């Protein structure tokens, strides 16, 4: 028979293991992450965890009668140390697209600028910039704006990243240093057919 203290310790151990498993598995989905260090108004050092990707991975380009291609840009904001969600950010997304590496070399300017990333209803710390992916290829994003931290400190952020299957030279040129992991590049829905 277990004593009350032993039962409490066992419960605490199981709960700690479950929390650790959830926090470790969080970055296992098809998104990339960057950590942004900043100083609060009171002089203390903090860091934001900013996760970027698409909804509904893997992404497939729109094709009439087969797939709608709706894959909004998805951004998660959290305190890097406590993992608490951060609401109240004012974020914009510049959107880039290239059919291949040659298109990137020819023109690396955004196709759309300053698209608002609004907060997801009922999901603090989650933001979406709506879009339908029209063609297979390499999609990249620049996320910029202000994050209001818990104490009221306004933290400007500005980073960019291209999908993970883009050529290495393209990623090293386009991605902000420190962006890790990645989100999927968009393929033709017919590429996943089996048998093809």
DSSP codes joined into one string, the chain: ---HHHHHHHHHHHHHHHHHHHHHHGGGSSEEEEEEEEE-TTS-EEEEEEEEEESSSSPB--BTTTB--B--EEEEEEETTT--B----EEEEEEEEESSHHHHHH--S-SEEEEEEEEPTT-TTEEEE--B--SSBEEEEEEEEEEE-TTS-EEEEEEEEE-TTS-HHHHHHHSPTT-EE--PPBB-GGGG-S--
Q: What is the pLDDT of residues 67-122, one digit of tens each?
A: 888 999 999 999 999 999 999 899 999 999 999 999 999 999 999 999 999 999 88
Q: Check residue 25 and give its pLDDT.
A: 37
> pTM value?
0.82
How does pLDDT run across 124-168, given as a tens digit for each residue? Answer: 999 999 999 999 999 999 999 999 999 999 999 999 999 999 999
- Mean pLDDT (whole number) for 47-69: 91
């Amino acid at each position: 028979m277990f004593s009350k203290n032993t039962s409490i310790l066992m419960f605490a151990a199981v709960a700690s293991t479950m929390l650790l498993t959830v926090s470790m598995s969080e970055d296992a989905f098809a998104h990339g992450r960057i950590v942004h260090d900043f100083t609060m108004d009171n002089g203390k050092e903090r860091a934001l965890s900013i996760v970027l990707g698409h909804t509904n991975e893997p992404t497939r380009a729109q094709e009439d009668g087969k797939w709608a291609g709706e894959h909004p840009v998805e951004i998660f904001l959290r305190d890097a140390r406590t993992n608490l969600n951060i609401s109240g950010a004012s974020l914009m997304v510049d959107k880039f697209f290239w059919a291949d590496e040659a298109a990137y070399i020819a023109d690396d300017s955004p196709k759309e600028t300053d698209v608002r990333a609004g907060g997801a209803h009922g999901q603090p710390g989650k933001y979406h910039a709506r879009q339908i992916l029209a063609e297979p290829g390499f999609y990249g994003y620049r996320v910029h704006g202000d994050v209001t931290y818990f104490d009221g400190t306004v933290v400007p952020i500005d980073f960019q990243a291209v999908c993970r299957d883009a050529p290495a030279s393209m990623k090293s040129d386009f991605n902000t240093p420190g962006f890790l992991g990645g989100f999927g590049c968009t393929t033709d829905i017919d590429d996943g057919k089996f048998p093809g």
